[in-house]
A and B are shown apart, each in its own frame.
Chain A
C-alpha cells in the first residue's frame, strides 16, 4: 500500500546524503562530574545506506543521534553531512523519536505540516503534506487530534511529519520500540520499502537484533557506556529479507554474543 503510494510520489524525497561521524566523544556533567557517554566513535555512512546501531540500554545511542541531528554539539570530534560540518538542527536531517511526540493541540494534518510551516514554505507546499499523509495511509485521519490515534497510527504520523521535509538523512531512534509486535512487523516492511524507493540515508537505533538485521545494510554494535564501537557487521542479503534466513540467524547469534547474551537461545 505504501509502496504504491510512494511509486506515485517518485520524486518525493531526494537521494540520501553521506554522513561522517569523525572521532566523536561526548560527556554529560552530572553533579559537577563528567559522565562519559561516547568514546571516540567514528562511522562513515555512504549516501543511501541503511545503518542500524545496537547496544546496551543507556550506552549513548540516543546521544549520538542527538549529535547527528545537531541538537547538541559534541565535546570533541566532528560530524559532517555531505562533507559540510553539522552545527545545528536542519530539516535535511530529521529525527523520529521513540515517542511520537505529536503536538496534542494540532490536528494530524497540522502536525505533519509542522516542518513546512516552521520553514515558512507551507503556503505553496500544502500538497506535500497531503502526499506524506497518503504515504503513511492516514489521509482519512487528517482532521483527528493525536489523542484519538492508536500508538501505531501516531508513530506513522510522526514518520509522515519527518518525510514531508524531503530529508537526506532519516534518523530513527527506536521508532517502533513501543508498538505491538504485529504493528511492528508491518511497519518494518514499510520502512524497508520507503527507504528503497526514496534512496534516503537511514540511521536506526533499535534494541531488537532481528529488526536491525531485517532492515539494515550494516549493523554497528556498541559497548556499554561510554559507547565504543565493538563491531561493524555488513548484512549482505537482498531485500525483501526473510526472517527465517539462515545467514541472518547466524549473524544474529554472532551479535547476541557481542552483546554478552550468547548463553540465551
Chain B
C-alpha cells in the first residue's frame, strides 16, 4: 500500500484534531508515535532483546574500549566503555560510526580476482590456491625476498604470523605503515637504549608544549588526550600550540603561536638554546642521569639557534621564543610533544630528537608527567621456526625499502621509500605484495607516482574489508572481516603511558565470506607445505591467539583488556646507563637540517599545508555519518574548501567561496576557498581524507586528496619528514 503523507492526513484529520486538542498526558500520546512504525515507506527496525558486548576499537591505533549494543543479532550502536583506562566512556566520532562499516553495502562480499581488468568473484579455495601457486613458483625461482607485506602494525599475533610467514618463506620485507611512532621509537632507542614505544603521561603534565601535534585531531589515543587536555585546564596548567593554522587544537590551547610550517625542529633547538644559555635545565636530572650534554651544547648554542635567528626562521618574535623557553623550563611538569597532525607521518628524526632532548633537559623523561618508554609486550613466545636454505638465504638480502641498510641504519620500516624502490630497475624488486592495512595507494604522498610504482608489481593482493583505493588496484582482494566480526589482540594504545592489551571479539557472526588475515597466512602456509606448514601448528588464528595468550587469555576474555597498573618506567639501557645527548650513533644526526617545503618559491608563491580532522579518515573509508558531520568549511557540495588568509585572497584577487585551481609541483586540484583569520598569510590549509577514488557514494568523488598534491620528503634517517609543499592558486 502506498499512500503519501498529505492524503493520509486528510483522511484522519477530523479525528486527529479532536485528540490533539484534548488535554491527555503526552506520555499517552507519545505511544501513538508507534504508529509511525506502521507506515509502509519508512523502515521499521525490529524490536528484540538488547545485549551489550565489550570489545576494542581498531579503527585507529587509539585502542579504546567499546561497548557494542545489539538488538538480537543486529549491532545498533557503539559506545565507549566507561571502565576502560584509555577512553573512560568517551568515544571519537569515527568509533561511534563504526556500525556503518559493518553494514556498508560497499564491503567486499567474497574473494575477487581481476580478470581482464575487471573483478570476478572466486572461491576462497581458488584464491588461496592460486596465490600459493605464485608464491611457490617465486620461491622455487630462488627469489623469496621479492615478496613483501604491508601491515597496519607490527604488534600482536596477526603481525607476528605475517612476519613468521615471511621469515620462513625467506623475505625480510615486512613493512609497517608509517606513523610518528617510527621517529619516537628510534629516538627512544638512540637516547635511552630502550626498544619501546613512546607513551605520554599527559594526565600529570602542568605545561604542555605541542610542536604541531594535532592533540585534539587524532594524535595518540584521542579520547585519552582529550580528557588529559581538559584536566590540564582544570588544574590551571598551560597548553601552548605551535602550528601555522588555528586548528581545533590551537583553538583550545591557552596560547596559539603560528610558526612557519616546517620550522618546528628549529624552534625546539631555539628553546634548547635559551635553556642551556641561561642554565635553566633541571640540574639534578641532567647531572646524574644524562651523558653527552657537551655535544648538545656544541650543536644548540650555535648562532643559528639564537633567539633572533630562530625568530627569523619561525616567524615568531625573539622575545616570545625566550619567554616560552623560560616558562617551559620553570614549569613543575613540562612536556613537549611532536608528530604533526594526527601523527600519521613520522616527521624528521632530528626534529623528534630535538623535542626529546628538550624533555630530557627539563627532566621529563621516564617520570610522572613525562615521556615514558613503554616496553613492547612480550606475550608472543613461539618456538623458533625451522628455516630451509632458501629462507636463510632470502633473509640475508637487504630490505627492499632500505630500512636497516648502511644508508638508513636506524629505520626499521620505510614504506615511504617503497615507491622509489619499485620504480627502479627493469623488473620491480617486489613481485608479490600483500597489503593488509594502511591503504598505501591513497595514504602515501605523491599519489600518482605511488600508483605508477605499485602498478609495476605483478601480483598485488589486498586483504581489506572494503574496496579501497589499494584493493581497487589489486589483482586479488581477499576480504577481511571488520573488527566487529573477529578476534584480535591489540597490544598497547597509541601514546598511552602504560602497557595495555585489548581484545577484539566478534560481536556478530561474519556477515560475508570473509577471512581474518591471520587465517589467510595460516592457509597459505599450509598450502605451501614443508617448513612453512611446520612453522604454523595452529589450525586457525583464533586457536593461535588462545594458545599464545595462555594464562592471559581468560582474564582478557573476561575483562576485555589487561592493564599493567603496577608498571614503572624502566632504567635506561644505553652503555652509559644514562640518557644520551650525543653518543656515537647520535653524532651523525647532530647537524640539524630543516626540511623546507619542496618546490620553487619563485613559481609557487604559497605553501600548502595539509591538516587532519577527526571527521575524516586517513586510510580507511570515512563512514556516512562522518561525511554528514563534516563542516561546510571543509566540504561544500562536491568541492573541498581550502583555508587561506583574507590578505592572501586579496593579493590573488579571489573572494570567499571562489573556485580555484590549487597547483603544486606534483599535481593540481579544483578547490573552493574558505577565508579565515585563523591561518598564516601565504599558506593554504587543506584537510586530508577527501578525494577518494573508491568507497561508497557518500564519500567517493568528493573533494580532492591532499596526498595527490604532496611530495615525498625524506630526512637523513629515511623517514617521511614532509608536511607541506609549495603551491599556487589560480582562479578556476
Partners in one complex: no
Q: Which residues of B contact A (CB under 8 A)?
A: none
